């Protein structure tokens, strides 16, 4: 007697506790944050006005957007290459690609950030090696700056960028690629004029996910940026726990959440949720 309707109701019932949890854990506290942004230290729009005029806040916002944009380009490009190998490579290549995609998930974000510090610092592996080979005489500054942040964040985000791309590439009709080659197009030309445009929805989904994730990064920029390249999440933390300037911190949070919400709405116009996993 289990028809599709009762299945759907069953699924809804199973999801219900999750929804309740999300409301209790996120939506409710967030309403509190919204309230702070309008009431602390004095009621009114003062915090939003400050947000628009404060040079520090503005420069952090702009830096966050810039880093997020660069990280998005780097991650999606790298993920695209890995995904092509993963989806279309030989069996051995596939296993290797899968390994590269999955291993990062087993290592915590903190461990990875310190791993990058070990690699990129003045006495790290890369500088030591470059110096021993004689390419450089003085160590390059690879960490505790924006470069280090971008490397660490991209490394973290590439696996997430892979899934929407893989789903787009898997659903592509192989015969269309054959058709292009049969019409005289080289492999290179087929890749750029047929394969890439046909995976467009995957690229958009992948880019939006990476961008949204980048906006909220905290641990990686805090460690690899060394306090010199503060991003928006770290600024919120500083305003709330160190200044303490709860009103401004709350206002920044609200702006960030609204912005991310708008991006997510855009994301789901292009990609179905099930393509993201």
Partner 1 sequence: MQQPGRAAEIKANGIGKSFGSFRALDNLTLDIGRGEFLTLLGPSGSGKTTFLMILAGFVQPSEGKLFSDGVDITNRPAEQRAAGMVFQGYALFPHMSVEQNIAFPLKVRKKSAAEIKNLVGEMIERVGLKGHEKKLPAQLSGGQQQRVALARALVFEPGVLLLDEPFSALDKSLRGQMQAEMKRLHQETGTTFVFVTHDQSEALALSSRVAIFNHGKLLQVGRPDEVYNRPTNRFVAEFLGEINMLPVKGVRPADNGATGLCEDRAVNMRCKAEAIKGDAILAIRPEDMSIAPEAFANQNGIAATAVASTYLGAATKLDLTTRQGAKVTVSVPNEVAAAALSKGNSVWLTWPAEKGFLLPDGGQ
| Contact footprint for partner 1 (CB under 8 A) | 173, 175-176, 178-187, 189, 193-194, 197-198, 200
Pick 181 or 272: Cβ nearer partner 1: 181
Pick 43 or 197: Cβ nearer partner 1: 197
Pick 125 or 179: Cβ nearer partner 1: 179
Pick 134 or 184: Cβ nearer partner 1: 184
For residue 209, give both structure tokens.
């996910």
Torsion of CA 59, 120, 155, 22, to 10 degrees: -60
* Termini Cα distance of the chain: 31
**Minimum distance from residue 170 beta carbon to partner 1 (Å):** 15
**List of long-range contacts for 88-96, beta carbons under 8 Å, 24+ apart:** 88/169
For residue 29, give both structure tokens.
């506290």
- Alpha carbon distances (Å) from 192 to 84, 88, 168, 201, 270: 13, 15, 15, 15, 21
d(CA 162, CA 86): 9
**Minimum distance from residue 175 beta carbon to partner 1 (Å):** 4
Pick 189 or 228: Cβ nearer partner 1: 189
Torsion of CA 201, 204, 207, 212, to 10 degrees: -110
**Minimum distance from residue 49 beta carbon to partner 1 (Å):** 46
Pick 153 or 177: Cβ nearer partner 1: 177
**Minimum distance from residue 193 beta carbon to partner 1 (Å):** 8
**Minimum distance from residue 177 beta carbon to partner 1 (Å):** 9
**Minimum distance from residue 37 beta carbon to partner 1 (Å):** 44
Pick 88 or 259: Cβ nearer partner 1: 88
Q: How many CB atoms lie within 10 A of CB 52?
A: 12
- Alpha carbon distances (Å) from 105 to 109, 214, 218, 240: 9, 17, 18, 30
**Minimum distance from residue 91 beta carbon to partner 1 (Å):** 14
Buried b (16+ CB within 10 A) or exposed e, 103-132: eeeeeebeebbeebbebbbeebebbeeebe
Q: How many helices (H) and strands (E) does the chain have?
A: 15, 0
């Amino acid at each position: 007697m289990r028809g599709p309707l009762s299945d759907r109701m069953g699924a809804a019932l199973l999801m219900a506790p999750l929804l309740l949890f999300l409301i209790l854990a996120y939506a409710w506290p967030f309403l509190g944050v919204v309230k702070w942004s309008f009431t602390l230290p004095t009621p009114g729009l003062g915090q939003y006005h400050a947000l628009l005029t404060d040079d520090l806040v503005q420069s952090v916002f702009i830096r966050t957007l810039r880093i997020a944009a660069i990280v998005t380009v780097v991650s999606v490009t790298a993920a695209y290459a890995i995904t092509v190998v993963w989806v279309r490579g030989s069996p051995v290549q596939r296993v290797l690609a899968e390994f590269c995609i999955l291993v990062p998930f087993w290592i915590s974000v903190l461990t990875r950030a310190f791993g990058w510090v070990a690699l990129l610092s003045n006495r790290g592996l890369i500088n030591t090696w470059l110096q021993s080979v004689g390419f450089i005489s003085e160590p390059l500054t690879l960490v505790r700056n924006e470069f280090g942040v971008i490397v660490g964040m991209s490394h973290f985000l590439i696996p997430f960028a892979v899934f929407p791309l893989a789903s787009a590439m898997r659903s592509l009709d192989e015969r269309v690629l054959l058709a292009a080659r049969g019409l005289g197009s080289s492999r290179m030309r087929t890749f750029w004029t047929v394969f890439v445009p046909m995976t467009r929805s995957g690229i958009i989904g992948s880019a939006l996910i990476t961008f949204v994730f980048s906006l909220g990064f905290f641990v990686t920029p805090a460690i690899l940026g060394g306090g010199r390249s503060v991003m928006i999440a770290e600024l919120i933390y500083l305003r709330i726990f160190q200044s303490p300037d709860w009103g401004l911190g709350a206002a920044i949070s609200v702006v960030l959440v609204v912005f991310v919400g708008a991006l997510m709405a855009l994301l789901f116009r292009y990609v179905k949720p099930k393509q993201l996993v």
